[in-house]
Amino acid sequence: MLPKILLIRQNIATTPALTNPYAEAFNAMNSLKIDSDKIKDKTIGIAVGSRGLDQLPQLVKSIVDFVKANGGKPFIFAAIGTQGGGTSEGQAAMLASLGITEDTMEVPIRCCGESKYMGKTPSHGYDVYCNSIVDELEGLIVINRVKPHTDFTDITESGLLKIFAIGIGNPQGAQAIHTKALTEGHGKVIREIAAYMMAHLPVLFGVMTTENWKSQLDYVQAVLPENILETEKAALARVKENTIKLPVKALDALIVAEMGKNVSGTGMDTKTIGRIMILGQKEPDYPKIGRISVLGLTEATHGNYMGMGLADYTTMPVFRAMDIVDTSFNCVMASAPEQGRIPVIVENDRAAIAAAVETVGLDDPSRATLIYIRNTNCLEEMVVSEALYEQLKDNKNIEVLSELQEFEFDQDGRLLSFHKAFGL
């Protein structure tokens, strides 16, 4: 028997979202007072990654227009490491899914899966690779969001430094970094390789963003290359202070409605689910989750199910949507085969939820502590089981949004409960 459930909201303060991302970015770039001679009549490449940044089209369009306003000749190129199967066609599809197309941006978009060898870093002799497109550039601008990384913890994690080292590094660069990182640490390797690239490429500046825990853009700053490291460190510290987590440190079952590369590099945020499974990396202390079932892949992930190996169960519809070739390539390049494993496949949502609560050693599965979320970026509203709510009912940050009810499924076993609330 499945637990009874209800919808709750976590009422936790957060930083306000920016109301005019285009203007914020344009003003931030203007504030740098870049010498116009560095842009006028020059070919300027704008490196755009694969992460689903909030307001990404507006931000990129602002950079494009800034370059045009200063007399430059901008184009966008994909800086997405191993995403898109490492092909130019896959890279273009990934950018298009994020709203970055030649029609929307009004500039050419270039994609290239090839890497060129740049040299070795002076300190530790790390091999450095970059997208072959950089040979065409007279100026380079990068954009990325600063956030905690899913695979490691350090003073810098995911941000502008990563878009250099792994994004612009293309598949060969990404693989080289992940291989070294297994023994020497991701942060150290990324910082050293990014520094080498910034010293050898015509970098004008970076556009750095952060988001609040509602995944809303709350900060934009343009940063000169010599200031990127310290600025990124400070931005990451701020982000870590403004987080939302699951409301408990342990539960029997987590049900995830959707996962994908636009949600997290590993499909699900590893620190939210308490599982990383990267060779040499310490597993999080919390949360402790008995079973995880995944019920869907996002459209924007294009079948890439990297991170599914962190789950225990998924469904036949999810299995049919998996792109095994692209995901395998991604996992090999990232030195993360564990994250590309396929969990136990059951028929439908009903079976995936039942399996999760029936295989954690409970005499009465209806008393399982369970949470059902849309994805690991959406932790404000969630469904909890009756037994879990008993632990939360005195929490002043928890607001009840529904009556207690049963899980509901259609004739094919697809979950209907709270379908409308989650907009799925």
DSSP per residue, 51-102? S--TTHHHHHHHHHHHHHHTT-EEEEEE--TTGGGGSHHHHHHHHHHTT--H
The predicted-structure confidence for 198-242, as pLDDT tens digits, reads as follows 999 999 999 999 999 998 999 999 999 999 999 999 999 999 998
Q: What is the pLDDT of residues 123-140, one digit of tens each?
A: 999 999 999 999 999 999
Residue 261's pLDDT is what? 87
Helix (H) or strand (E) holding 315: strand 313-315
Any residues with CB less than 8 A from the CB of 104 and at least 6 apart, and which? 57, 61
More confident of the two residues 208 and 417: 208
At residue 10, the 3 state secondary structure works out as: strand
Q: How do residues 87-103 score in pLDDT, each as one tens digit?
A: 888 889 889 989 999 99
Separation CA 370–CA 22 (nearest Å): 41
Across 170-190, average pLDDT: 89
- Where b means 16+ CB within 10 Å and e means fewer, 199-215 reads eebbbbbbbbbbbbbbb
pLDDT band at 86 (very low <50, low <70, confident <90, very high): confident
Residue 60: predicted pLDDT: 98
The yes-or-no verdict on residue 416 having pLDDT over 80 is: yes
Q: Is the pLDDT at 388 greater than 70, yes or no?
A: yes
The pLDDT of 104-126, averaged and rounded, is 94
**For residue 180, which of 163, 165, 196, 195 has the smallest C-alpha distance?**
165
Q: Predicted confidence band at 278 (pLDDT cuts at 50, 70, 90)?
A: confident
Q: Please, what's the largest Cα pairwise distance for the chain?
A: 73
Sign of dihedral through CA atoms 334, 256, 17, 8?
Answer: negative
Domains and CATH numbers, the chain: 21-241 (3.40.50.11440), 245-422 (no CATH)
Query: pLDDT at residue 14 above 70?
Result: yes
pLDDT at 35 over 70: yes
Average pLDDT over residues 66-94: 89
Look at residue 410 in the predicted model and tell me its pLDDT.
94
Q: Answer whether residue 188 shows pLDDT above 90.
A: yes
Task: Please report, for the chain, how many H helices and E strands are present, in that order.
Answer: 14, 16
Q: What is the pLDDT of residues 54-63, one digit of tens each?
A: 999 999 999 9
Q: What's the predicted TM-score (pTM) here?
A: 0.82
Averaged pLDDT for residues 319-336: 92
The DSSP code for 299 is: G
Q: What is the pLDDT of residue 424?
A: 67
Identify the residue whose tokens are 């869907």. Answer: 296
Contact call for residues 307 and 339 (beta carbons, < 8 A) = yes
Euclidean distance between CA atoms 330 and 325, whole angstroms: 9
> What does the pLDDT average to over 65-79?
97
Query: Are 416 and 406 contacting, i.e. CB atoms less than 8 angstroms apart?
Result: no
| All residues at 6 or more sequence positions from 253 whose CB lies less than 8 Å from its CB, including other chains | 289, 290, 291, 292, 293, 353, 356, 357, 360, 368, 369, 370, 371
Average pLDDT over residues 175-187: 88
DSSP lists the bridge partners of residue 398 as: 10
Among candidates 47, 185, 169, which has minimal Cα distance to 119? 169
